[in-house]
Amino acid sequence: MKYLLDTHSYIWYVEDDKQLSRNALNIIDNPDNELYLSIVSIWEITIKSSLNKLNLKQSISNIYDELNKLNIEILSLEKKNFEILYNLEFFHRDPFDRMIISQAITENLPIISKDIAFNNYKIERIW
């Protein structure tokens, strides 16, 4: 099965944070699953790290290496994502999450996320 990781899910996984749910951990650890991380998440991690709003155990320069090691593919932005985003209702106001939601809708991917605000959209949220 294919899954899109929300930014915090990816961070909690690589940082071995106990906030990650057992269900999410099992899905991420299952080698039969195809995992994706939005390029928007990399942007969010970079910005928040540079502003000292996020402190990671690993260096920001290691993200791509870590993604390759974990066999997580980067989901790029496409024109259709912006079309969905334009019409997306403002249940969620965070711009990073709104684009991740748009990508999940476009690609028909369930999102692994703790964020219950995602439930307001026509996507499957798994936690």
What is the predicted pLDDT for the residue at 91? 84
- Give yes or no for a contact between 61 and 23, defined as CB atoms under 8 angstroms apart: no
Residue 87 has pLDDT above 90, yes or no: yes
The pair of three-digit structure tokens given for residue 2, joined into one six-digit string: 């294919």
pLDDT in tens, 18-46: 999 999 999 999 999 999 999 999 999 99
Residue 6 has pLDDT above 90, yes or no: yes
Higher-confidence residue: 90 or 67? 67
Residue 8 has pLDDT above 90, yes or no: yes
Closest alpha carbon to 114 in 101, 104, 127: 127
Higher-confidence residue: 74 or 58? 74
Q: How confident is the model at residue 48 (pLDDT cuts 50, 70, 90)?
A: very high
Just give the CATH number of 2-126. 3.40.50.1010
Can you give the residue ranges of every domain in the chain? 2-126
Q: Which amino acid is at 103?
A: Q
CA torsion sign, 121 to 110 to 28 to 80? Answer: negative
Distance CA 16, CA 7 (A): 14
What is the predicted pLDDT for the residue at 15? 94
What is the predicted pLDDT for the residue at 92? 81
Q: How confident is the model at residue 93 (pLDDT cuts 50, 70, 90)?
A: confident
